[in-house]
Amino acid sequence: MSVDSRWLPCRVKIESDLSITGYDGIILVSSSPPGTNEPEPFKTVLYAASQIDAALSYIGGVLPINLPARRFIYSPTGPLNIDYHDVRSFNEAANRGVCRAIDAGVRCPMIVLQPDLRFENAELVTLLGALEALYVPLEVREISADRCYKACQLGVWSPICGKKLQGIVKLATMLESGRFVARDIGGATAERMTPCRVEEYVGELFHETSVTVQVVSDENTLLQEYPLFAAVNRAASAVPRYRGRIIFLTYEPQNSASILETILLVGKGVTYDTGSADVKAVDGMIGESRHKSGAGVCVGFLQVVNLLQPPTVKVVAALCIVRNSLGENGFVTDEIITAKSGQRIRIVNTDIEGRLCIADALFHIKEMALCSVNPHIFTIATVMASAKQAVGSGYSIVIDNVIARNANNAETLQASGELMGDPFEISRIRREDFESYHVGVDGDDLRQGLTTRVNYERIQQGPVAFLLIASGLNKHGMESSSPLKYTFVGITSHISADHDLAKPYHGNPILAMSYCYLIQGKCLTIRNDPPAEMQYVRDVDCKPDGGITSSYPRGIIGDSVKNPCIILPYTQPPVENPCRCTSERVAVTQIPADHMVAQSPCPPNVKRNGLKSTV
């Protein structure tokens, strides 16, 4: 399935000739010393430049080149120690290269994808890094049409086989589309992504696709079926736009008899966390709008699923979208709330609401798993910021229950993360994690958390133990007649702990999860079934003429007025470009998609960027 133009940073096009016109900058990412292993004409240019600039090998630069693009942006990874460096170096170099190109005035860049035998997915990760750098935040895109794009088009050229390149570009755009929507949801402000507007966004995203959308927002239903969620929602429910809801997303293959496994996700979607009665008075509340990133990951993962259309995997996600407000009707400590599982839970801190938001949804997902084919349950959430200290910035945490651990799930996911530049660290749940949540008070089954706010032992494992007990999943272990695989994915380390909103959320760990559960050993169409006929990954006219007439703003144009010819003029080479890729494309067999229409809460003429269609 092709990627809708609304859910990518720009148009992506494969080019077979470096001499093609229409581009105003070429970006090369390389892990070799300049002037050694690059294809021509870059090798000659870099060798000459390295003779006069010793810093070129680790700083890079903008150089003139005798090609129509005129600008050559060299972005090196720097020296790599294979013992400790990983493929992220290519992502980071591509990101820097694109940012440098944009600063230089480039508006229609081309990126060169170079293979590296040390890293299997170097080309794919390089392209993903370039696309990540071109992302424009949702609220910026909504300011005006001319701010929707940093670049009108990204060209892709590589010396590798054309068939393989098409597969890489196709996969990269699918994965980037998932990260794109995850960033939109996780990175937007609390007002732009209120619970009702999350519902609106998701409804538009999956309108008339293979993903169905169901919403539970009735307060009586929430109180009866999701009592812990309803407690957190009490204060916010007084304001209509802040009222919480549970959003279910379901993808099922066209042939239900072909399902071999079921992935069930529960995502934490706290649109803003004030701490409620235990108000965040010490550290402040900057950045608390990003605690909805767990739900954003679930939506992004479903977007990848929708594009890949895996024939043997069913996916269900429950998004727990709520605002933890401070108000006269808010829940307080000392309350005892009976969870849907029947556990009586004593509230000890209203500022650790995330586990309450997802525990009841996890119970319902568990019940669904009991009648599913080969189920695996996940929760994706941010936990306390102090958990970030255990692994550091940029590393997701994976914690398996014993059933998932016996299947080596965490190790497999970690290996996938290494291949995709989306790393994981593995933690393990222990007996102490369960013991700390049991209390000796008559009538109480479970304590919501520990009394101290932060800096207690095993801070990342404790919430997992609570969720297992509160949802009833602890009864489905090795000695159960119905064992269930369960995995907790912690993404706190991707959220800025120093309240710096300039540090964006990148959409982790969608790359690792998609590669592990959807692509590796499952989706053979990526390599063997490249797109036929057209090289365009998606079809969108990027040059406005006479105003915006389509249903979505079509971007900006890198014209010669904004990018004057300040570099050496291009002269036609006397012979055919030796780097030209001559591989022929092959025909493909299209996989039919089951288009189940989702009930969209968003009016059809209202687009994600806030602008109305003129047609």
Report, as residue numbers or ranges, the catalytic residues. Answer: 280, 355
Distance CA 367, CA 356 (A): 18
Distances in whole angstroms, Cα of residue 37 to Cα of each of 114, 115, 126, 201 = 10, 11, 17, 46
For residue 40, give both structure tokens: 């021509």
The string of DSSP letters for 211-223 reads EEEEEE--HHHHH
Q: What residue has token string 């370039």?
A: 130
Closest CA relative to residue 258, chosen from 296, 310, 221: 310
Q: Are 12 and 88 in contact (CB under 8 A)?
A: no
- Check residue 560 and report its DSSP letter: T
99: left (phi over 0), alpha (psi -120 to 50) or beta: alpha
What type of residue sits at position 541? Answer: D
Q: Which residues contact 192 (CB under 8 A, 6 or more apart)?
A: 138, 139
Q: Are 23 and 17 in contact (CB under 8 A)?
A: no
Q: Which residues contact 218 (CB under 8 A, 6 or more apart)?
A: none
The string of DSSP letters for 286-317 reads TTGGGGGHHHHHHHHHHHHHHHH--SSEEEEE
Q: Are 414 and 443 in contact (CB under 8 A)?
A: no
Q: Which residues contact 264 (CB under 8 A, 6 or more apart)?
A: 315, 316, 317, 318, 365, 368, 369, 372, 375, 376, 377, 378
Q: Are 151 and 559 in contact (CB under 8 A)?
A: no
Distance CA 96, CA 86 (A): 17
For residue 424, give both structure tokens: 């994981």
Closest CA relative to residue 267, chosen from 224, 235, 217, 229: 229
β pairing state of 375-381 and 485-490: parallel
